[in-house]
């Protein structure tokens, strides 16, 4: 079992064994997923920003088909 301590500010150090298992480096982002009475932590992979997120009017299937791979 691997443990860490929570500070009064709500922070903790990710134990070395966990950092190694997830290949974590400074600046990496983490995902916390709640599952009943536990939390699953995983490394966030890079995902390209959605080019349509800024333009709400560009949500037709034809738009995604024509420009989705940009």
Domain that holds residue 49: 16-67
pLDDT tens string for the chain (70 positions)?
Answer: 899 999 999 999 999 999 999 999 998 999 999 999 999 999 987 666 666 666 666 667 787 788 777 7
CA 37 to chain centre: 20
Q: What is the pLDDT of residue 32?
A: 92
| Inside any domain, residue 5 | no
Count of domains in the chain? 1
| Inside any domain, residue 61 | yes
Task: Give the global pTM.
Answer: 0.56
DSSP string, 8-36: TTS--PPPHHHHHHHT--TT--EEEEEET
Cα separation, 43 vs 10, in Å, equals 20
Short-list 14, 16, 46, CA closest to 29: 46
Q: Hey, what long-range contacts does 7-11 have (CB within 8 A, 24 or more apart)?
A: none
């Amino acid at each position: 079992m691997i443990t860490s301590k929570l500070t009064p500010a709500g922070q903790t150090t990710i134990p070395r064994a966990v950092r190694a298992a997830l290949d974590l480096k400074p600046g990496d982002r983490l995902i916390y997923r709640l599952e009943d009475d536990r939390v699953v932590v995983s490394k966030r992979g890079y995902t390209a920003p959605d080019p349509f997120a800024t333009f709400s009017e560009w949500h037709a299937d034809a738009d995604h088909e024509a420009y989705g791979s940009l």
